Structure 1
Amino acid sequence: IAAITLANARGGATLDLATDCTYLLTADIDGAGLPAITTPITLNGSKHTTIERAAATDRFRILTINTGGDLTLNKLKITGGQTDDNGGGILVNPGGNLTTNHSTITRNITDGDGGGIANNGTTHLRHSTVERNTAAGVGGGITSVGALDVKKTRVYANTALDGAGINSEGTVRIERSAITANHAEDTSGGLLVEEGIATVTDTEVSHNSGAEVGGILANFDAQVTLRSVALVGNAARTARAGGLAMNPGATIVIEDSLVKNNTAVTDGGGLYNLVEMVLRRTKVVGNQAGNEGAGIYNEATGILTVVDSKIVRNTAAVDGGGIFNDAGGTVNLETATGTVVTENRPNNCVNVPGCAG
C-alpha cells in the first residue's frame, strides 16, 4: 500500500512482489483494498504470488484504476474481492488502462456488474485466466463499456444474470482464446454483445449455458463477426438458441467456423437468426432443438445467406432439422458454392427454396 501510494506521487513505478506470497488486504481504501492507480504502475509477481481480500473484513474490490492510471499485472492472482459496486476484482474507470500478462482473476463477487473486471476504459488481457467470478448483474467474468482486447486468455466458469463470461457494450476483440463453462441465470452464458462491434477469431466458445441463448447473443445494434470459431456444446436450458442468437438491429457474419452439438429446449439448436446473418465456409452439425430449427432457425424478419457451408446431422423434435424458415423469412441457400443441407432429422428444411425437405 505504501509503495503504490509513493508510486502515484512520483509518477509511476515498477514494483516486484514476492514469490510464494499472499498479500492479504484488510482495510477498505475508497472501495478497494489497494490505493487507486493514477499513474503508470507495473506489479510483477512470480510463482504463486497472490493479492487477496481477507475473508473476515469489510467488502471491497482489490484494485481501482482511475483516469491517468495505467496498471500492468504480471504473473499475479487477484482474488477474494467483493463489492456492492461494479468490478468485484478490478474496476477500470474512464481514462484508465489495465493490462494483464500471465495473471489470474478468480473468485471475486459483485452485487453489480463485472464479477472479475468492470472496464470503463481500456483493458488488455494476455495469456491470462478469468474464472469463477460472480456478478448479480451482467458480466460474471468481465463487463466492458470501453475497449476490450483479449488474447490467449481463458474465461471459465463465471456466473451472472446475463452475459456470464463476457458482457460488452463497447468494442471487443477476442483472439485465440476460450470462453467455456460459464453460466447465465437468464440470457447468454458465454458472450453478450449489448451494442458496438465484436470480432472473435480463432476462439472456442463452448459448454456455456443460459436459460435463453447458451453461447453468444448479439443485441440491438451490435455487429458481430466470428472467424475460425468453435461454437460447441452450448445449451439454452428453457428457451431458444443453444449456440448463438441475435435481437433486432444486430448483424452477424460467421466464417470458417464450426457450430456443433449445441442444444435448445425450444427453437434454434445451433443458430437463431432474427435480422441478418451470413455463413461462409462453416459447418453446422449435430445440433438439437426441442421444437423447430435444430441447425438454424430463421425468423420471419430474418435474412439468412449460406455460402459454401454444410448443415448436416442436426435433429429437431418437431420440424426443420437443418433449417426452419418462418413464413416471411428469407433464406439464400447458395448451393452452387458447395452448400449442402443433408442427413438432418426429421427433415432437412422447411420453407427454404432449393432445399429438399
Structure 2
Amino acid sequence: MRRQVDGLVIGVLALGVGVVVAPAAHAQEQVPCDTPALVKAITAANAAKARVRLLLAPKCGYSLTTPLGANGLPVITGDVELVGQGTTIGRDRRAPRFRVLEVAAGGALGLTGLTISGGHTRDAVEHGGSGEDGGGVLNAGTLVLDRVEVSGNRAGSGAPGAPGNPGDTGETGGWGGSGGGVATSGEAVLRVRRSVVRGNSAGDGGRGGDGVGATSSGHGAEGGNGGTGGVGGGLAVTGTVELVDSVVRDNHTGGGGAGGNGARGADKPTGAGGDGGQPGAGGDGGAGGGVFSAAALTATRTGAFDNTTGAGGPAGNGGRGGDGLTGGAGGPEGNKFVHTGGNGGDGGGWAFASTPTALSASDAGRNRTGAGGRGGRGGDGGTPNGQAGSGAPGGDGGRGAGLALVKGGGAEVVTVSGGTLSDNTTGDGAAGADSGRGNADYLTYGNGGSGGDGGKGGGVHVDKKRRLTVDGTTIRQNRTGAGATGGQVRSAGGRPGTPGLRGRGGGVGASYYIDTPPSIVLTNAHVLANQPDDCSFRSTPDC
C-alpha cells in the first residue's frame, strides 16, 4: 500500500502540468503571468455576485514580494477559483514574512493544478504571544484543493515570556503557530483531493521568562513555563475535513519552549536565607506531525509518511538559596514537586482530538515523535549549611508515532479500517538533571531528577477518555523509544534519579484502558513484529 500511495505523488504532480478540466462557472478570466494582475483579478472576483474562475498562466511562477496585511494576496471574501497548469504561487524568500492565502468566513476558494509555497507567518512580538497560524493558507470559510501541492510553508513561533516583576513568577512562553501548510478555524470546510502536503512546519513555543527577585517571604521567584509547540506540521484543522487520494509527508511540528530559571533567594544577614525559586517546566512539542485534527474528519486512500513532531523543551534551572545565618535551600527544595522537561509531541503521522474521525485504506509510515526535554539542574544551597535543590525529571518521548488519539473534550470514536501502520518510532525520554550542591553534608536533600520514559504506542496510542476501533488494519514493525538516565547527586545524602523506562505498546498502547465500553476494539487486525511488544493495554487474540 505504501508504494501505491508514494507513487501518487508523481501522479499528482503530473496532473498539475496537464490539461485541467473543470466544471462550468458563472464567469472566468485569463490572468497573465504577472503578480499585480493576479492581485487585481482576485479583488474583482471578490466583488462579483457569482463564482469567478481565474485561469492562471501555465507553468508561471507568481512571486509575492509585498504583503497585503498578513497575506501575500487579497483575503478571499467571495467565491473564487484559481486554476493553473503547473503554476506556482509563492512568497519570495527575500520578502517580509506573510502567508500566501487567507479565506474569510463566508468566502470560498478552489485551487486546482497549483503549488502554494514559501509562506511564513509572523512570529509573535509581544511577550508570551502566540505565533500566527496557517503558514501557507488560513481558512475560515470553504477551501477545496484538487491536484495541489502545499510545500515549504511555515507558521510563526511564539514569543518568550517576560521576566517576572521583582518577586513574581516569570511569564509563560507563547505557543507556536499551528498548521504549517494549512490551518482552519471555527466551522470551516476543507476538501483535499489528489494533492500533496509536504515539507511544512508549525512554529516553536517561546521560552518561559525567568523569575526575578524574591517574594515577600524571601524565597526566589519561580521561572515561567515554556510555550507549547505549534500543532499540525502539515494540516491543523477544525470544522469538517475530507481527504481523498492524497499524501501528507515530511512535515514537522514545533518544539516546546525552554522553561525559565528560578531566581535566587534573598540574603538575610540576621536570619535564614530565602530558598531558591523553582524552575519553569519545558513546553511540550506540538502534536500531529502530518495532521492535527479537531475536526469531523474522513480520510480515504490518504497516507502520512516521514512526518515528525517537535521535541519537548528543557526545564529551567533552580535558583540558588540565599545566604544568611543559615543558608536557604536551592530550588526546588528537597522532595518538593519540580517542573519537568517537556514531553515530545504526540502523533507523528496523525493526531486526533475530540471529534468523530474515520480513516479508510489510509496509511502511516516512517513517522517519528519527538524526544522529551531534559530536566533542569537543582539550585545550590546558600551559605552556610544550605540544602541542595533537586534536579528536575526529564520529559517523556512523544506517543503514538503512527497515530495518536490525544486528549479532547469528548469520547467520540476514531475508526480505522484497512491500511497499514508500519515503521513508525516514538521518541526517547530525556535525561533527568543533577542536583545542586549543598553546604551541609548531613542533610539528606538534593536528589537527582528521574529520567523520562520512552514514548508509548509505536503504531497507535490512545489517551484517556478516547475510543478507537480498528478493522482489517495491519500494524507492524513499529517501535517505541528508550528511557533516559536519571540525574546524579552532587551532595552527600541525596538519591540519584531513577532511569526512565522504554515505552510500552510497540504496536498499540494506551494511557488508561476501560472495558465498558472498550477503549480499543481490534477486529481482523494484524498486529505483529512490533518492538518491544505488540500491545500493552490488555491481552487480545490479535496481540
Give the deviation of 1:170 after TM superposition.
1.9
Aligned to 2:154: 109
For 1:90, the equivalent position in structure 2 comes to 137
1:317 corresponding residue in structure 2: none
Which residue in the other structure is 2:236 paired with?
Answer: 143
Letter in 1 for 2:364: V
Partner of 1:248: 464
What SS does the aligned partner of 1:3 have?
A: helix
Aligned-partner Cα distance in 2 for 1:217–1:20: 39
Partner in structure 2 of residue 297 of structure 1:
536
Instruction: Deviation per CA, 1:199-241: give whole Å up to 9, x if none.
Output: 1000111111003221111123352110002111110021211
Contact 2:526-2:542 at 8 Å conserved across structures: no
Deviation string, structure 1 residues 20-56 (Cα, Å, up to 9, x no partner): 110001111121100001111110000x210010111
Q: Aligned with 1:8: secondary structure?
A: helix
The match for 1:155 is 248
Residues 236 and 9 (structure 1 numbering): CA distance in 2 closer, same or farther, change over 3 Å?
A: same
SS at match of 2:506: coil
Equivalent in 258, 268, 285 of residue 474 of structure 2:
258
Partner of 2:419: 229
* Counterpart residue number, 2:351: 192
Q: What do the CA deviations read for 1:248-287 (whole angstroms, capped 9, x no partner)?
A: 1100000011001000022110000333100000100110
- SS of residue paired to 1:110: coil
Q: Partners of 2:458 and 2:247 in 1: how far apart?
A: 21
Aligned partner of 2:82 among 28, 43, 53: 43
SS at match of 1:210: coil
C-alpha distance in 2, partners of 1:232/1:37?
Answer: 40
What SS does the corresponding residue of 2:419 show, helix, strand or coil? strand
CA distance in 2, matches of 1:34, 1:192: 31
Mapped to 2, the partners of 1:340 and 1:150 lie a distance apart of 29
- Counterparts in 2 of 1:1-357, with a 5 A limit? 1-11=39-49, 12-46=51-85, 48-84=86-122, 85-93=132-140, 96-111=141-156, 112-120=177-185, 121-136=188-203, 137-160=230-253, 161-185=286-310, 186=344, 187-211=346-370, 212-213=398-399, 214-220=401-407, 221=410, 222-238=412-428, 239=454, 240-265=456-481, 266-273=503-510, 274-275=512-513, 276-289=519-532, 294-298=533-537, 325=538, 331=539, 333=540, 339=541
- In the alignment, structure 1 segments of 5+ residues that lack a partner are 299-324, 326-330, 334-338, 342-357
Q: Which amino acid aligns with 1:143?
A: A
5+ residue gaps in structure 2?
1-38, 123-131, 157-176, 204-229, 254-285, 311-343, 371-397, 429-453, 482-502, 514-518
Asked whether the 8 Å contact 1:38–1:65 carries over to 2, the reply is yes
Q: Which of 1 and 2 has greater Rg?
A: 2
Question: Which position in structure 2 is the counterpart of 1:312?
Answer: none
8 A contact 1:219–1:249 mirrored in 2: no
Within 2, Cα distance between the matches of 1:149 and 1:27?
Answer: 33
Identity of aligned residues (%): 29
Structure 1 letter corresponding to 2:527: V
Equivalent residue pairs, number: 297
- The one-letter code sitting in structure 1 at the alignment partner of 2:526 is K
CA–CA separation in structure 1 for the residues paired with 2:77 and 2:248: 27
1:53-85 CA-to-partner distances (Å, cap 9, x unmatched) read 011111000000002211000000000000031
RMSD: 1.2
Query: Displaced runs of 4+ in structure 1, greater than 6 A?
Result: none
Distance 2:542 2:521 in 1: 15
**TM-score for both structures, normalised by structure 1:** 0.81
Deviation of 1:119 after TM superposition, in Å, equals 1.2
Alignment partners' CA distance in 1, 2:504 and 2:542: 21
For 2:91 and 2:43, locate their aligned partners in 1 and report how far apart those are by CA, in whole Å.
Answer: 18
Q: Tell me if structure 1 keeps the 8 A contact 2:249–2:306.
A: yes
Counterpart residue identity of residue 53, structure 1: R
Quick one: structure 1 residues 135 and 340, their matched pair in 2 at CA, closer, same or farther if it must change by over 3 Å?
A: closer
Counterpart residue identity of residue 23, structure 1: Y
Contact kept in structure 1, 2:118 and 2:152, CA below 8 Å: yes
Query: Does the C-alpha gap of structure 1 residues 116 and 340 become closer, same or farther in structure 2, counting only changes over 3 Å?
Result: closer
Aligned residues of 1:133 and 1:141 also touching (Cα < 8 A)? yes
Distance 1:295 1:154 in 2: 27
Per-residue CA deviations over 1:154-189 (Å, capped at 9, x if unaligned) read 000000032110001121111111111001122221
